C-alpha cells in the first residue's frame, strides 16, 4: 500500500478519528464551522477580486481594501484548514481515493499559487496602478482565476459526499 | 391557499418533480446555494466590520455600504431562488422542521433589519465620532445572518 494511503488508514483507525466519525455532535459541529467559514475565507477574497475587476467598491483603493480584507481571509483560512483537517482525520481512509477530495486539494493548491504570484508580482506595485480607471490586465486575470479556483474548491468540496 | 397548501403545491410543481427525480439536481442547486453563501457572507462582513470600526476606518461607511449593496442583494436573490428549489425537494418535511422555521424567521428579520435600521445606522456612522448605535446595528446584523447560516445547517442535521 502506498505510504500516503497507509497514513490515511492510520488516521482513520486512530481512536481520535473514530471518535470524531462516530460522534453524535462533534462531527456535525465541525462540519458546520467548516461550511460557514467559507464566508470569511472565500467571501472576503471574492470582494477583493471583484474590486480588482472594477465591479464594486470603486471609491476604495485596491491596496486599502486588501489591507483590510486579507487579515480576514487569513483568519478564514485558519478556521477552514483546522476544521477541514479534523474532518479529513475522521474520514481519511475513505477520502484517500475520493476523486472530488483530490480535485479539491489540487484546486486549493492552485488558488494558493495564484495568490502567491499576484502578491509577489503585480500587487507589489499597486500604488502605481490603483489610481487608473482599470487595473492592469495581469491583476484582472489573477482576480478571475481566483474567483474560478475558489468556486471550484467549494464545488469539489460539496461533491465529496457524492463519491 | 394556506401556508401548508403552498408548501405542498411547491413539492408537486414541475420544479419539485425535477428536484425530486434528478440524480444531480439537488447537488448542483446546493452548490449554487453555497457559492451564494460565500458572496453574501463576504458582503455582510465587509459592511458590518466597517460599521463596527474594525476595517476600512478611513473610508466613508455609506460608500462601503453602497459599494457592496448590489453584491449583497444579488447574492441574497441567488440564495433565495436556489433555496426555493432546495425546498421543493422536501417541502413537506421542511414545513414541520423547527430548524427551517427558525431559519425563515431569522432570514426575514435579517432582511427587514438590513433595509431599515441597518441603513439608518450607516447614515449615522457618517458623522464624526464612532457612536454606539452603528456598532449595535452591525452586531445585530452579524448575529442575525450567522443565525440564518447555523439554522440552515441544522435543517439537514436535526
pLDDT tens column, A11-32: 999 999 999 999 989 999 999 9
Q: Is B128 on the interface with A (CB under 8 A)?
A: no
The confidence band for B125, taking pLDDT boundaries of 50, 70 and 90, is confident
Domain of residue B133 covers: 3-157
Q: What is the pLDDT of residue A83?
A: 97
pLDDT in tens, chain A (163 residues): 799 999 999 999 999 999 999 998 999 999 999 999 999 999 999 999 999 999 999 999 999 999 999 999 999 999 999 999 999 999 999 999 999 999 999 999 999 999 999 999 988 888 888 878 889 999 999 999 999 999 999 999 999 999 9
- Domain count for chain B: 1
Contact B42 A42 (CB under 8 A): yes
Q: What is the pTM of this model?
A: 0.94
pLDDT more than 70, % of chain A = 100
User: Which residues of A are less than 8 Å from B75 in CB distance?
Assistant: none
CB contacts of B38 in chain A (<8 Å) are 38-39, 42-43, 46, 150, 154
Interface test with A, best of B32, B39, B41, B42 (most A CBs within 10 A): B42
Query: Is A58 part of the contact surface with chain B (CB cutoff 8 Å)?
Result: yes
ipTM of the complex: 0.92
Residues of A in Cβ contact (< 8 Å) with B155: none
Interface test with A, best of B30, B36, B41, B62 (most A CBs within 10 A): B41
Long-range contacts of A156-162 (CB under 8 A, 24+ apart): A156/A100, A156/A101, A156/A103, A156/A104, A156/A107, A157/A100, A157/A104, A158/B27, A158/B30, A158/B31, A158/B34, A159/A100, A159/A103, A159/B27, A159/B31, A160/A95, A160/A98, A160/A100, A160/A101, A160/A104, A162/A100, A162/B27
> Where are chain A's structural domains?
3-162
**Whole-number pLDDT of residue B129:** 61
Amino acid at each position: 500500500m502506498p505510504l500516503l494511503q497507509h497514513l490515511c488508514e492510520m488516521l482513520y483507525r486512530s481512536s481520535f478519528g473514530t471518535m470524531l466519525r462516530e460522534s453524535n455532535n462533534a462531527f456535525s459541529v465541525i462540519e458546520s464551522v467548516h461550511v460557514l467559514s467559507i464566508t470569511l475565507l472565500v467571501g472576503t477574497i471574492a470582494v477583493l477580486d471583484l474590486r480588482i475587476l472594477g465591479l464594486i467598491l470603486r471609491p476604495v483603493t485596491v491596496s486599502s481594501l486588501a489591507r483590510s480584507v486579507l487579515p480576514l481571509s487569513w483568519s478564514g483560512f485558519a478556521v477552514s484548514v483546522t476544521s477541514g483537517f479534523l474532518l479529513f482525520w475522521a474520514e481519511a481512509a475513505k477520502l484517500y481515493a475520493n476523486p472530488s477530495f483530490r480535485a479539491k486539494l489540487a484546486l486549493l493548491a492552485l488558488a494558493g499559487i495564484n495568490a502567491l504570484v499576484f502578491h509577489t508580482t503585480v500587487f507589489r506595485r499597486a500604488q502605481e496602478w490603483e489610481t487608473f480607471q482599470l487595473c492592469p490586465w495581469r491583476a484582472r486575470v489573477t482576480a478571475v482565476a481566483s474567483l474560478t479556483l475558489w468556486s471550484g474548491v467549494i464545488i469539489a468540496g460539496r461533491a465529496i459526499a457524492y463519491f | 391557499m394556506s401556508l401548508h397548501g403552498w408548501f405542498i403545491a411547491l413539492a408537486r410543481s414541475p420544479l419539485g418533480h425535477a428536484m425530486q427525480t434528478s440524480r444531480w439536481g439537488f447537488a448542483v442547486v446546493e452548490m449554487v446555494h453555497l457559492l451564494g453563501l460565500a458572496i453574501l457572507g463576504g458582503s455582510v462582513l465587509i459592511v458590518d466590520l466597517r460599521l463596527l470600526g474594525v476595517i476600512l476606518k478611513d473610508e466613508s461607511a455609506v460608500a462601503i455600504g453602497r459599494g457592496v449593496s448590489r453584491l449583497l442583494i444579488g447574492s441574497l436573490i441567488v440564495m433565495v431562488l436556489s433555496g426555493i428549489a432546495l425546498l421543493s425537494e422536501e417541502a413537506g418535511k421542511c414545513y414541520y422542521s423547527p430548524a427551517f422555521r427558525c431559519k425563515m424567521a431569522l432570514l426575514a428579520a435579517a432582511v427587514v433589519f438590513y433595509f431599515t435600521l441597518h441603513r439608518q445606522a450607516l447614515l449615522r456612522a457618517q458623522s464624526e465620532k464612532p457612536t454606539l448605535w452603528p456598532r449595535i446595528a452591525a452586531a445585530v446584523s452579524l448575529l442575525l445572518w450567522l443565525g440564518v447560516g447555523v439554522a440552515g445547517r441544522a435543517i439537514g442535521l436535526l
